[in-house]
Amino acid sequence: MSDGKLSLPYNDIFPKYAPDVKFDPVKVFVNTVGDGNYYAIRNDFSTEAEWKANKFAHMMVPGLALRKDILEEIGNPEIKSLSDLDAVFATVKQKHPEMSPLILNPNWQRNYFDTQLGAQGGFVDENGKLIYYLKQDAVRQSMLYMNSLYRNGYVTSENFAYKNESDTEQMMLSGKGFAYTWTYSNADRLNADGKGKYPFVNIAEPLGPKASIVSTGTGGLGVYVTKDNKNVEASVRFLKYMFSEEGWRLGEWGVEGQDWTMNAEGYPEFKYDPQNMDTIKAKGVYWWGVPWESGVGMALSSYKAGSETTRQGEQYDKIISFNPAIGMINPDTDSPEQVIRTNIDNMVKTEQTKVYLAPSEAEANKAFDDMLKKADKMGIDKLEAWANSQYGPYKEKYDSLTK
């Protein structure tokens, strides 16, 4: 929709109909396309300055929830590294052979372990040059770690075939698993959906010095004003209100005083449980469905003093860095670069299971090497060369806006 043949640019219609609206220059930059216009201000994005200015907003990160009662049963062992985690899995396997030590959410299989090893997705900046994620040694290490989980019997081969996260969540809520990969809301969601049948806690702190996250996001949903619009002025007035603090809070949280109140410290206190999926569905609200709120606004929806989500968010803020210039590098649909990228990504989805389920570490390494060879034949070097031709100007502009 960010196409002048389909949509009207915000940089034309807002100065005309709502000249008092001034969008943040970084947000304008990350939404500007090749023709020099921006056709939306996408949601779920805040600048680094906005994140750092709000101590109650914590970016959504991968999480690992554990059964609290079983942790207490085995003496609450210290978990400060992946080795410590392996030792806990081994103990659980020994004491509870009827239970899987780890269940993987199908949409968040490796994300938590990627984070602990400093692995990233998409394009990755290594010493000022972009490589595609498959070439990172950290990605190899993360996949090999997944293989070790399988070879040690901490996760089943069937788990890699699951497609629906509702199924894996129900496995946890029925007592079939000890640990579960998901987001930082992992434990709070399980506690809410399970109505307290089993208690869950997150591992709040990163596991070791390699743990890191680079935020490359540039936003998600956008609202576009099409060229067929019969009343552009009214549409802009509506958008002006929804982009305002009052507007996005109404759309995101509900009616102030009825659904939530603002704590004097600066965070919302809800009169419903935003982690309870039954409640969320009944009210018709969902945290990623409001196309004009910011990343900070979305994150505030998850803030609750002392909650598992907040405990982890506070710790992971320390390992997050920002580089949305990388997120701006997206090949055009049907371009040669997009074809290469799609082919590589589809190949990895198919072939990575061979790494995970290899009978030995040596064979897992070979399976990873085979993926690299296939990516080479598909043109990964051409994809990286194209990306680097785009990256320099984007990064220079972004750095100039954030000085």
Q: Which residue in this structure is represented by tokens 């399980």?
A: 190
C-alpha–C-alpha distance, residues 322 and 308, integer Å:
24
Domain layout of the chain by residue ranges: 45-330, 336-401
Amino acid letter for position 132: Y
Collapsing DSSP to helix, strand or coil, 108 comes out as: coil
What is the 8-class DSSP label of residue 160?
G
For residue 87, give Cα distances in angstroms to 92, 104, 123, 147: 9, 18, 34, 16
Sign of torsion, CA 295 300 306 309?
A: negative
Homologous superfamily of 45-330 in CATH?
A: Periplasmic binding protein-like II (3.40.190.10)
Entry pTM: 0.92
- For CA atoms 13, 14, 15, 19, the dihedral sign is positive
Q: For residues 152 and 87, give the distance between their C-alpha atoms in angstroms, rounded to a whole number.
A: 11
Task: Please report the DSSP string for 325-388 in residue order.
Answer: HHHT--PPTT-HHHHHHHHHHHHHHHHHHHHHT-SSHHHHHHHHHHHHHHHHHHTHHHHHHHHH
pLDDT at residue 94, as a whole number: 98
pLDDT of res. 332:
87
Question: What pLDDT is recorded for position 311?
Answer: 97
Q: How far apart are CA 76 and CA 67, in angstroms?
A: 11
- List the pLDDT tens digit at each of the 403 positions of the chain: 999 999 999 999 999 999 999 999 999 999 999 899 999 999 999 999 999 999 999 999 999 999 999 999 999 999 999 999 999 999 999 999 999 999 999 999 999 999 999 999 999 999 999 999 999 999 999 999 999 999 999 999 999 999 999 999 999 999 999 999 999 999 999 999 998 899 999 999 999 999 999 999 999 999 999 999 999 999 999 999 999 999 999 988 889 999 999 999 999 999 988 777 788 788 776 655 688 889 999 899 889 999 999 999 999 999 999 999 999 999 988 899 999 999 999 999 999 999 999 999 999 999 999 999 999 999 999 999 999 999 999 999 999 999 8
